[in-house]
C-alpha cells in the first residue's frame, strides 16, 4: 500500500509544454476526423435502404444487428453512466490482466503503478488505496476491509471466459453497496454452457509470458468448465532504467458449473490462486487465496424473480517487513423483484457479510486490534415506476450497517425520459457513503507506541451527494454515443490531523467538489471497421474544513484533468484482425506525473477456425513512461510486445 501524497511541484513548466504539444495534436486529430466525416456523409446518405419486409424469413433471421446496436439496446434503459466492455473487446485488446482490460472503459482512470499494483478509480480520488469504487466478479465483492479498496494483484480471471465487464461511473450505492461511491465494476463470466470444449493458449513477450487452459463439458442437467492459468511478469524499471525488484509469478485455477438458465437455475463456481512477487529485502511477497460461490435463481409463476447467493472467500497476503494478513469472508444475500400493481417494478433484498481478519503486525505499522471479526448488513428497496410510456422514475434506498458507525442510509432517485427508442435523457440524484475501513480506524505507525500516526477513533463515513445528467442516443444503426455531466459534493473526506508532539490522527476534515463530463461513442465506419472514442474531463477542488490542521490536499488522490481514448477495430480479409488503442492521459498534479500518449496495437490471424495467432504491442511509440507515483520512487512502464497462440474447439 502506498499513498498518493507528495508535495513537490518541480518540473511543472516543462510539463505544461508537453501538455500543450499534445493538446495541439489532439485538436488537429479532431479537426481531421470532422473533415473525414464531412467527406463521407454524402456517400452514406446515398446508400440504398433495403426494405426488410421484402427479404425472406431466412434472410431476416440471418441479418446482423451491429454490435453497436446490441450494446445500446441492452444499456439504453439504464439511467446511469454505464459502459460495457464485451468479451470480444477484451480479446481484441490483447489484454492479459483484468486491470489492463479495464483500460477499455473510457469512464475509468487506470494507472499502472508497477508490475503488480494499479491505481484504479472513476471520477477522481485515485491512489493505490483508492476506496470509492466497488468491484464485483460474478457477484462476489472483491474488496478488502483493510482500506475499502481492491488489491488488484489478488484478483484475476480467465479473460477468455469473460462475457462482459459493466462499468458504471457514478454512485451505485442503492443497489450495489456502501463502497459504490464513484463507480461499480461488474465482471461477468460466461455461463458454463457457453464455454464447452477445449481452449488452450500460450504467450510470451519481453515483459511477460503466460499459459492457460480451459475445458468445458456437459454434465447431467447442466454444464461445467474447469480452468487453469499461470503467468510470469517481468520487473519494472526506474526512470534511469535501473531494475525494480517486483517481478511476479502467479498460478490460478477454478471451475464453474451451471444448471438451468441464468434466470432459473443454479450456479456453483470457485477459484484458487497463489503468487509470489519479488522484493529485495526482507523477502518475497506471497499472495494466495480462494473462493467458493453458489447462486440460485428462480423465475416465479407470477413473473417475479428471486435470487439467493452465498460465498466464502479466503485471502492471504504476506509482505515481509510490512505485515501479514489472512482474511476470511462469508457473504449471504438475496434479492426479489416483482411487478407490483400497474407500472411498478419492485426490487428488494438484503445481505449480511462477516469477515475475520487476522493481521501480523511489523515494526513499521500495526492494525490494532490485530485480530478482529466484523459484520456488515444491508437492506434495500427500489421501485421502478413507469410514469408514462416514455418516462420512468426509479427511487430506491439502502440501509447499510458497518462495524464502525452502525446504520447509514443511501438513497437515490433516477428519472429517464425516452422520447423515442433511440434516445434517452436521464438524470439522477444520489447520496453515497464510504464506510470507515480498518485503515481509517485501526492503523498505527510505527508498529509500537509512541505512534506518529494513529487511526481516528471518531472517524466517520465519507459522504458524497451526486447530481448527474445524461444523454444517450443511437441516431443510426452505425452510430451511438453517451454523454454524462456530473457534479459531486464530498464531505468528511479523510484528513491527517496533527496532535501534540508531532503525531497525527486520522480525521474527516476535508471537503471536495468535482465537476466533470464523460463522453463516448461508437461508429461502425464500415461492416468490417469500428471506431470508438471516449473522453473524460474532471475538475476538482478540495479544501479543509475550519479547524483542520492538515495541509496536504494531495493525500485524497491524484487525478488527470482529462483523458481521451480512441480505438479502431478492423477486420481484414482472410480471417485477420487489426486493432489500435490510443490513450492520452493528462498530467497528474501532485506528485507530478507527465501526461502521456500510449498506443497499443494488435494483429491477429486465424489460419484455421480453431487457431488464432496474435501479436500485441503495448506502448508502441514510447520506450517507457511513468503512470503514477513520485518521481524518485516510481516505476516506469516499458514498451511490451507479446506473441500469443490460442487453440479452441
Partner 1 sequence: MVALIKRMLFVAAFLAAATALGQGDRALEPQIKAAFLYKFGGFIEWPAAAFARADTSFSIGVLGADGVAAELERVVTGRTVQGRAITVQRLKRGDPVTGLHLLFVGQPEAGRLPEILSAAKGLPLLVVTETEDALTRGSMINFITVDDKVRFDVALPQAERGQLRISARLLAVARKVITG
| Residues contributing to the site for partner 1 (CB under 8 A) | 30, 34, 37-38, 40-41, 44-45, 49, 51-53, 55, 57-58, 60-67, 69-70, 73, 261, 263-264, 299, 302-303, 339, 342, 345, 386, 389, 420-422, 473-479, 481, 483, 485, 515-517, 519, 521, 523, 535, 537, 539, 562
Residue pair 135/11 in contact by the 8 Å Cβ criterion: no
Task: Between 252 and 524, name the residue whose CB sits nearer to partner 1.
Answer: 524
Cα dihedral 159/557/397/348 (nearest 10): 20
483 vs 601, which CB is nearer to partner 1?
483
CB of 52 to partner 1, least distance (A): 4
In terms of Cα–Cα distance, which of 173, 185, 181, 169 is closest to 485? 169
* Three-state SS at 87: helix
Q: Report, in Å, the least distance between residue 86 CB and partner 1.
A: 11
CB of 201 or CB of 481, closer to partner 1: 481
Query: Residue 487 Cβ, how far from partner 1 at the closest point, in Å?
Result: 10
Instruction: Give the alpha-carbon dihedral of 287, 108, 396, 493, to 10 degrees.
Output: 70
Q: What is the nearest approach in angstroms of partner 1 to the Cβ of residue 240?
A: 35
State the minimum distance, in angstroms, from the CB of residue 281 to partner 1: 47
Cα-Cα-Cα-Cα dihedral of 20, 24, 25, 26, to 10°? 100
DSSP 106: T
Pick the closer one to partner 1 by CB: 25 or 643: 25
**Phi, psi angle pair for 501, to nearest 5°:** 85, 20
Give 223 or 473: the residue with its C-beta nearer to partner 1.
473
- Residue 116, class by beta-carbon neighbours within 10 Å (0-12 exposed, 13-18 middle, 19+ buried)? buried
Q: Which residues contact 8 (CB under 8 A, 6 or more apart)?
A: 591, 592, 630
CA distance 99 to 112: 8
- From 601, 600, 596, select the one nearest 625 (Cα to Cα): 596
Shortest separation between residue 269's beta carbon and partner 1, angstroms: 21
Query: Least CB distance from residue 60 to partner 1, whole Å?
Result: 6
Query: Residue 609 Cβ, how far from partner 1 at the closest point, in Å?
Result: 15
For partner 1, the closer CB: 421 or 449: 421
Q: Specify which residues 43 forms β-bridges with.
A: none
Smallest gap, in angstroms, from Cβ of residue 142 to partner 1? 28
What is each CA distance from 328 to 27, 317, 609, in whole angstroms?
51, 12, 44
Q: How far is the C-alpha of 523 from the C-alpha of 37, rounded, in Å?
A: 11
Of 237 and 485, nearer to partner 1 (C-beta) is 485
Nearer to partner 1, 10 or 88 (CB): 88
Q: In the complex, what is the shortest distance from the CB of residue 55 to partner 1, in angstroms, rounded to a whole number?
A: 7
Choice between 86 and 270, CB closer to partner 1: 86
Query: 217 is written with which cell numbers?
Result: 463439458
- Measured distance CA(199)–CA(158) in Å, rounded: 11
Long-range contacts of 62-67 (CB under 8 A, 24+ apart): 65/477, 66/477, 66/478, 66/524, 67/530
Instruction: Select 452 or 469, whichever has its Cβ closest to partner 1.
Output: 469
- As a whole number of Å, the end-to-end CA separation of the chain is 42
Q: What's the min distance (Å) between Cβ of 63 and partner 1?
A: 6
The angle subtended at Cα 205 by Cα 204 and Cα 207, nearest 5°, is 120
Q: 245 or 390, CB closer to partner 1?
A: 390
Amino acid at each position: 500500500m502506498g499513498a498518493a501524497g507528495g508535495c513537490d511541484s518541480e518540473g511543472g513548466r516543462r510539463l505544461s509544454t508537453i501538455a500543450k504539444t499534445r493538446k495541439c495534436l489532439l485538436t488537429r486529430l479532431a479537426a481531421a476526423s470532422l473533415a473525414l466525416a464531412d467527406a463521407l456523409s454524402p456517400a452514406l446518405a446515398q446508400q440504398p435502404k433495403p426494405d426488410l419486409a421484402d427479404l425472406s424469413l431466412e434472410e431476416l433471421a440471418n441479418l446482423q444487428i451491429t454490435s453497436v446496436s446490441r450494446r445500446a439496446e441492452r444499456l439504453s434503459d439504464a439511467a446511469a453512466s454505464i459502459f460495457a466492455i464485451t468479451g470480444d473487446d477484451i480479446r481484441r485488446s490483447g489484454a492479459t490482466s483484468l486491470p489492463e482490460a479495464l483500460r477499455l472503459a473510457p469512464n475509468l482512470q487506470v494507472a499502472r503503478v508497477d508490475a503488480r499494483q494499479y491505481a484504479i478509480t472513476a471520477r477522481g480520488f485515485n491512489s493505490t488505496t483508492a476506496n470509492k469504487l466497488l468491484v464485483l466478479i460474478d457477484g462476489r465483492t472483491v474488496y478488502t476491509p483493510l482500506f475499502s479498496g481492491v488489491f488488484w494483484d489478488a484478483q484475476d480471471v480467465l479473460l477468455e471466459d469473460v462475457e462482459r465487464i459493466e462499468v458504471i461511473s457514478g454512485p451505485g450505492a442503492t443497489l450495489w453497496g456502501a463502497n459504490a461511491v464513484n463507480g461499480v465494476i461488474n465482471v461477468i463470466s460466461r455461463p458454463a454452457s457457453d464455454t464447452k470444449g477445449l481452449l488452450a493458449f500460450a504467450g510470451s513477450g519481453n515483459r511477460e509470458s503466460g499459459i492457460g487452459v480451459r475445458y468445458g463439458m456437459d454434465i447431467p442437467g447442466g454444464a461445467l468448465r474447469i480452468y487453469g492459468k499461470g503467468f510470469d511478469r517481468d520487473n519494472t524499471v526506474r526512470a534511469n532504467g535501473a531494475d525494480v525488484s517486483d517481478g511476479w509469478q502467479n498460478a490460478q485455477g477454478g471451475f464453474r458449473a451451471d444448471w438451468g438458465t441464468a434466470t432459473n437455475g443454479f450456479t456453483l463456481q470457485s477459484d484458487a490462486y497463489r503468487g509470489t512477487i519479488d522484493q529485495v529485502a526482507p523477502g518475497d511477497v506471497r499472495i494466495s487465496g480462494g473462493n467458493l460461490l453458489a447462486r440460485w435463481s428462480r423465475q416465479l409463476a407470477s413473473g417475479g424473480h428471486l435470487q439467493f447467493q452465498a460465498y466464502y472467500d479466503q485471502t492471504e497476503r504476506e509482505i515481509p517487513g510490512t505485515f501479514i494478513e489472512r482474511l476470511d469472508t462469508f457473504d449471504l444475500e438475496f434479492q426479489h423483484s416483482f411487478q407490483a400493481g400497474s407500472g411498478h417494478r419492485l426490487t428488494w433484498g438484503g445481505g449480511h457479510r462477516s469477515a475475520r481478519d487476522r493481521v501480523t503486525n511489523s515494526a513499521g505499522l500495526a492494525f490494532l486490534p490485530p485480530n478482529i471479526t466484523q459484520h456488515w448488513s444491508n437492506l434495500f428497496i427500489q421501485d421502478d415506476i413507469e410514469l408514462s410510456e416514455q418516462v420512468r422514475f426509479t427511487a430506491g434506498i439502502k440501509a447499510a450497517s458497518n462495524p464502525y458507525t452502525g446504520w447509514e442510509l443511501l438513497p437515490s432517485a433516477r428519472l429517464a425520459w425516452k422520447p423515442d427508442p433511440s434516445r434517452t435523457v436521464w438524470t439522477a440524484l444520489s447520496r453515497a457513503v464510504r464506510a470507515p475501513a480498518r485503515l481509517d480506524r485501526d492503523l498505527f505507525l510505527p508498529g509500537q507506541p509512541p505512534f506518529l500516526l494513529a487511526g481516528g477513533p471518531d472517524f466517520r463515513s465519507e459522504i458524497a451527494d451526486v447530481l448527474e445528467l445524461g444523454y444517450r442516443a443511437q441516431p443510426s444503426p452505425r452510430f451511438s454515443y453517451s454523454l454524462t455531466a456530473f457534479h459531486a459534493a464530498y464531505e468528511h473526506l479523510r484528513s491527517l490531523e496533527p496532535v501534540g508532539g508531532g503525531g497525527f490522527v486520522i480525521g474527516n476534515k476535508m471537503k471536495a467538489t468535482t465537476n466533470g463530463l464523460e463522453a463516448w461513442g461508437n461508429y461502425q465506419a464500415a461492416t468490417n471497421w469500428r471506431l470508438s472514442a471516449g473522453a473524460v474531463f474532471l475538475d476538482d477542488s478540495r479544501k479543509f474544513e475550519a479547524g483542520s490542521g492538515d495541509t496536504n490536499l494531495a493525500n485524497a488522490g491524484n487525478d488527470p484533468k482529462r483523458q481521451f481514448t480512441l480505438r479502431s477495430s478492423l477486420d481484414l480479409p482472410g480471417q485477420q484482425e487489426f486493432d489500435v488503442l490510443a490513450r492520452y492521459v493528462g498530467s497528474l498534479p501532485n506528485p507530478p506525473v507527465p501526461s502521456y500518449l500510449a498506443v497499443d496495437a494488435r494483429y491477429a490471424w486465424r489460419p484455421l477456425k480453431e487457431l488464432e495467432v496474435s501479436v500485441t504491442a503495448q506502448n508502441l511509440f514510447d520506450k517507457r513512461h511513468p503512470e503514477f507515483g513520485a518521481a524518485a520512487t516510481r516505476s516506469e512502464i516499458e514498451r511490451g510486445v507479446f506473441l500469443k497462440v490460442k487453440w479452441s474447439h
